[in-house]
Structure 1
Amino acid sequence: MKDLNEKPVLDIPDFCEAHGISRALLHKMWRNGTGPRIMKIGRRTLISTEAAADWRKGLEEKQTNKRGAK
């Protein structure tokens, strides 16, 4: 995984590479309401490192809750 502290924001290709997911999966997650928060600057779509960290934490919590419910 890339060092996310190198940049304060990631573009879509960098985010996908850093998290080992495809662009198609990222877009699917946004459609389902489970993707990371974004910001638009001009025509660019960016994801802050804070939003990426919050997204990862949310995924971890969701997984922990699923395991606890079994």
Structure 2
Amino acid sequence: MARPEITGRKVLADSPAAFSIAEFCRAHRISQSMYFKMRNLGLGPREMAVGSRRLISQEAAAEWRNAREAAA
């Protein structure tokens, strides 16, 4: 793998403890409109309210992936 000092890319020390909805969608390669459709059908991941933001924990994301795989 190319070294970050050569490529100019930043190295992520740790993965985030929680995703914003946009980050979750990017990480799982789904559109935000698909996310909201799934959420409205009760098929989205658990969300937590932090102030006015909605976040999805790593654990909730993993549970959601497992549920989607089981349903497939």
Same fold, judged at TM 0.5 (above):
yes
Identity within the alignment, %: 43
Q: Which has the larger radius of gyration?
A: 2
For 1:21-32, what aligned pairs fall within 5 Å after superposition?
Answer: 21-32=30-41
Where in structure 2 are there 5+ consecutive unaligned residues?
1-11
- The alpha carbon displacement at 1:29 in A equals 0.4
Q: Residue 45 of structure 2 aligns to which amino acid in structure 1?
A: P
Where in structure 1 are there 5+ consecutive unaligned residues?
64-70
Normalising by structure 1, what TM-score? 0.81
Please give the root-mean-square deviation of Cα atoms over the aligned residues, in Å.
1.4
Structure 1 runs of 4+ off > 6 angstroms?
Answer: none
Separation of aligned partners in 2, 1:24 and 1:10: 17
Structure having the larger proportion of residues in helix: 1
